[in-house]
Chain A
Amino acid sequence: MIVVRSLNLDGVNYFHVKVAGLLFVATTRINLSPSLVLELLQRIARVIKDYLGVLNEDSLRKNFVLVYELLDEVIDFGYAQTTSTEVLKSYIFNEPIMVDAARLPPLGPASMFMQGTKRMPGTAVTKSVVANEPGGRKREEIFVDIIEKISVTFSSSGYILTSEIDGTIQMKSYLTGNPEIRLALNEDLAIGRGGRSVYDYCSSAGAGAVMLDDCNFHESVHLDSFDVDRTLSLVPPDGEFPVMNYRITQEFKPPFRVNALIEEAGAFKAEVILKVRAEFSSNITANTVVVQMPLPKYTTRLDDTHKKKVDELSRVIVGGSEHTLRAKLTFSQESHANIMKEAGPVTMNFTIPMYNASRLQVRYLQIAKRSKTYNPYRWVRYVTQANSYVARL
């Protein structure tokens, strides 16, 4: 069986990951853990990104020598030494050459956080961690991003079949001197369901309690006070790293409700009605919303009477609004059986900044004070993205 992501050819095993359009490949002859290699490749990609600020073909080409030095330090005789940007700093002597960040394509990492007309500082997260800012003075900042990916499946009768949130708290620290940080989450955060199937209805949890099924932490996080008051204390290493990954299967309010209907109007015609309703509050806007619905193979024509609405639908949806799309379909052959079964499920892709479906929140972010005037910028951002948002017909 040839697996796509790891391949065995002539006794050599090949692994690769794809990051930002670049392929990172590793080879080995021995039988070792695929997780190890894949994690390593991801880490290497991240270290390179930390050093270069932005990872794309251009920056890699300009900084080839630096990347070569990094690879040399990270792996020795086939054993991974360290992938911590911080530790590597003392061994790497090349300086990164910056690539002009303004020439980034619009869907770069910063645009995820665009909120209507309010824009986040676009270049903030594309600075290199190690390079010195021109002018000498470094801006002290720390970014905490809570990125949640939600997967929801609606059955054909409209109720939720499966729902899951996979979340991660990413931190990127530009603080000098590595001060200690305390991050506090919801006080009523509960972890684990104690062995019962997570889909059993659980009425013992308080009305507002957030319940995580499971979480795992970065190794630099101290969990001593986590049990007490749900705070994490850590000394953040340089660069970007996930503080915590968590998974929630508790029920939550889905941000969109989708209804789709296909009505037959004669032998060769049908009408499609697609309704999308945003359930979140109106001061939040979802962007890059795309709704897809596969139609039966034998559809020949699709007339939508509301062409403009289609465009609207695919860009921005303001909270609380409802959009409807009607379209007429013409078929080349007579449809038999249930046409709803022939058409595929409706899938949605979206990004909603400043909204998270679980109610996990960062209550406060304390940085150990070094001097009275030390007041670094703290950015805490929430993003919800669609992982697999499906409504069956």
Chain B
Amino acid sequence: ILTPVCLTHLLCRIKEFSEWAQCLVLDLVSKYVPSDSNEIFDVMNLLEDRLQHANGAVVLATTKVFLHMTLSMNDVHQQVYERIKAPLLTLVSSGSPEQSYAVLSHLHLLVVRAPYLFSSDYKHFYCQYNEPSYVKKLKLDMLTAVANESNTYEIVTELCEYVANVDVPIARESVRAVGKIALQQYDVNAIVDRLLQFLEMEKDYVTAETLVLVKDLLRKYPQWSQDCIAVVGNISSKNVQELKAKAALIWMLGEYSQDMLDAPYILESLIDNWDDEHSAEVRLHLLTAVVKCFFRRPPETQKALGAALAAGLADSHQDVHDRALFYYRLLQYDVSAAERVVNPPKQAVSVFADYQSSEIKDRIFDEFNSLSVVYQKPSYMFTDKEHRGAFELSEEIGSLSVGTESMDIAIPAQRVEANDNDLLLSTSEKEESRVPSNNGSAYNAPSVSLATLDTQSELISPLSSLPSYAPNPTLVIDDLLGLDLPSSSAPAPARSPSPPPLKLNAKATMDPSTFQRKWGQLPLSLSKECSINPQGVAALTTPQVLLRHMQSHSIHCIASGGKSPHYKFFFFAQDTEEPVSYYLMECIINTSSAKAQLKIKADDKNTSAAFSTLFQSALSKFGMS
């Protein structure tokens, strides 16, 4: 959209625009792709003084331009970071609290992306006493990100002061921040001392958080067990009421039962209070801990073990019951095998899983200077379909599980998981990444099946059945789909001299970005509306049903979603003949009106007609088998 001439014209006169117009111009400039590095430098020189503007929006928009243009040039990119540090920090302190928070969110994003560049500025991220808690939380995140060898000591000292803060959530976050730093660094000596000091503070929420962190610390650095256990052992379990903390304490009791003299007795008293213990998580931990303790100190723990297993077997919660049963049978079968299962020698955990996949983080970075940074979610997760600007197709894909009704953030679980899935289709990070929303649930079965459909899938239907579709489709389509073909006789002769029937690759794969690119580039070959037979409509209770059906015809789905009665699918297929060409299609199905709209785009136009009949025949078969 933006030509170089237009660009120079706008940029040379940028001062003449009002500040709001400048923001719009800068937005346009950030979408422009410069042709070579000279052009990049020219643009940057012209915009250099915008960084001195008093309006935060202008500065942020300029920052976005600089960052995006220099992504390919590493050292200039770093210089950009250096240059924008000062203006952004000034903005943080000069505006109203709301503006300051918006700028701080962006700074947070940059700090997390390039922590080593900000490591000397950690003092700017100290929390001030009168700041609102959401600002403090952001700053804590930034402090943990920039911690490195040289400044860890001071940062941790500062964080310890915050732990004494009156505000409970901030105190908790501070303890967690100290723990995070400890997990990142090698030199944890001082940190362990501090954590143990927290335990002495005798504030219950501090103790709770610290216990959880000590547990994680021990998983990574088992060599510190002696010091930690000495202090933890002094904590009376009655003081610890919070679930996670209790679970952590019990884990430690089980794991280090030979070092903690009172372990069996503490466990025993906890088991006696089994009925008071309402949380399934704590009960599960209790079961495992008592079994581990039994292996180390059998005579003392035997009675407790018996009581625990009895209580567990009688428990109403399914997981607890199953685990108790499992332990019971395992112990009956062979005690040493049980020991190997429950208590193997453990390796120290080296890395804990990250909370947000890096793809999402990159997406958010692309949308710098927008709400995505403040919400920490890419834009497709919170905008309506019609109002989206830049990423058209990707957002289409991303929104599929939204359906055409308006967004309701109250049901994020299923929707956001499906969105996340789309990004993950071509990566193998599935197991690490978690959904960055307020539900921490892991992926459940339906979403995973979507992913597996797309990757190298072992495919059922044989390729040989495909050629038989080619001659048949006309009759089938006419009868069952009631398609509006131009003339019913014409296709028949048209089909017979047609090129050899299409063979589709059953193991075709395509990653989402390629799909997006092709969809944008290819012209529309075919657009049709057809109706679905009633059986098909009845069968289409969830999108997955159609997907599997199409899969059996070697037409793969790259994204799907929707709720009854609207469904939307994006399919692709690959021709096995040389040259390899792809077919892409979008299919919108409305089950209430029993209609489907198809849009087909193909690399090779000649074969697109053949492909469309294939697709339609496949569609017609849906609901039949």
* Residues of A participating in the B interface, judged by any CB pair closer than 8 Å: 1, 3-6, 8-11, 13, 15-17, 29-36, 38-40, 42, 79-84, 149, 151, 153, 162, 164, 166, 168, 192, 195, 197-199, 213-219, 223, 242, 244-247, 294, 336-337, 341-342, 344-345, 347, 387-388, 390, 392
Contacts and interface: CB of A to CB of B under 8 A. Distances in A.
B42 interface: no
Interface in B37-73: 49, 51-57, 59-61
B90 A81 contact: no
Nearest to A155: B161
Given A11-B407, A392-B161, A216 B90 contact: yes
Contacts of B408: 10
Interface in B347-365: none
A5 B102 CA distance: 9
Nearest to B99: A38
A245 B126 contact: no
B86 A213 contact: yes
A323 B550 CA distance: 83
Given A3-B374, A13-B371, A35 B56 contact: yes
Most chain B beta carbons < 10 A, residue from A32, A223, A347: A32
Given A337-B201, A388-B129, A388-B131, A31 B383 contact: yes
What 7 pairs across the A-B complex have the smallest Cβ distances? A80-B20, A388-B128, A214-B86, A36-B57, A31-B379, A197-B120, A245-B94
B289 to A, nearest CB: 30
Nearest to B18: A82
Given A39-B99, A214-B90, A387-B128, A336 B57 contact: no
Interface string B8-44: 0000000100111001100000000000000000000
A15 B101 CA distance: 12
A31 B82 contact: no
Contact of B53 (A5, A10, A216): A216
Contacts of B103: 35
A157 B51 CA distance: 39
Given A17-B98, A30-B389, A216 B91 contact: yes
Contacts of A81: 18, 20
20 contacts: A3-B374, A5-B97, A8-B409, A30-B383, A31-B371, A33-B370, A34-B371, A35-B99, A38-B102, A42-B99, A79-B24, A81-B18, A153-B126, A213-B86, A214-B89, A216-B59, A216-B90, A217-B53, A345-B129, A347-B130
A84 B448 CA distance: 55
A1 B134 CA distance: 11
Most chain B beta carbons < 10 A, residue from A34, A197, A341: A34
Contact of B202 (A11, A29, A336): A336
Contacts of B97: 5
A289 to B, nearest CB: 16
A302 to B, nearest CB: 17
Interface on chain A toward B: helix, strand, loop, or mixed SS?
mixed
Given A38-B102, A166-B94, A197 B166 contact: no
Given A29-B387, A216-B94, A341-B201, 10 more contacts: A8-B382, A38-B96, A39-B95, A162-B126, A214-B89, A218-B54, A219-B55, A247-B94, A337-B200, A344-B166
Contact of A390 (B18, B94, B129, B387): B129
Interface in B394-431: 406-409
Contact of A216 (B60, B87, B200): B87
Contacts of B201: 337, 341
Interface on chain B toward A: helix, strand, loop, or mixed SS?
helix
B96 A36 contact: no
Contacts of B202: 336-337
A327 B105 CA distance: 43
A337 to B, nearest CB: 6
Given A219-B54, A388-B129, A31 B438 contact: no
Contacts of A32: 370-371
B315 interface: no
B498 interface: no
Given A247-B90, A390-B129, A242 B370 contact: no
A29 B384 contact: yes
Contact of B96 (A42, A216, A217, A337): A42
Contacts of B382: 8, 11, 13, 31
B90 A245 contact: yes
Most chain A beta carbons < 10 A, residue from B90, B201, B384: B90
A213 B90 contact: yes
A263 to B, nearest CB: 19
Contacts of B123: 162, 197, 199
Interface in B90-137: 90-91, 93-99, 101-103, 105, 120-121, 123, 126, 128-132, 134
A180 to B, nearest CB: 17
B120 to A, nearest CB: 4
Contacts of A1: 375-376, 437-438
Nearest to A151: B128
B390 to A, nearest CB: 9
Contact of B130 (A79, A84, A214, A387): A387
B52 A215 contact: yes
Interface string B527-561: 00000000000000000000000000000000000
Nearest to A74: B20
Contact of A11 (B19, B95, B384): B384
B367 interface: yes
B317 interface: no
Nearest to A386: B130
B303 interface: no
A358 to B, nearest CB: 14
A32 B103 CA distance: 14
B509 interface: no
B164 interface: yes
A245 B54 contact: yes
A242 B54 contact: yes
B93 A3 contact: no
B369 interface: yes
Most chain A beta carbons < 10 A, residue from B15, B371, B384, B389: B371
A245 B372 CA distance: 27
Contacts of A5: 97-98, 101-102
Contacts of B372: 31
Contacts of A344: 164-166
Contacts of A9: 409
A150 B383 CA distance: 40
Contacts of B52: 215-217, 223
Contacts of A6: 102, 371, 374-375
A217 B54 contact: yes
A82 B89 contact: no
Contacts of A336: 202
Most chain A beta carbons < 10 A, residue from B52, B94, B376: B94
A81 B105 CA distance: 27
Contact of B383 (A11, A82, A162, A215): A11
A35 B60 contact: yes
Nearest to A30: B387
A15 B57 CA distance: 15
A218 B59 CA distance: 12
B406 A10 contact: yes
A84 B18 contact: yes
A3 B371 CA distance: 11
A298 B263 CA distance: 33
Given A5-B101, A337-B201, A341-B164, A36 B53 contact: no
Contacts of B517: none
B75 to A, nearest CB: 15
Contacts of B329: none
B297 interface: no
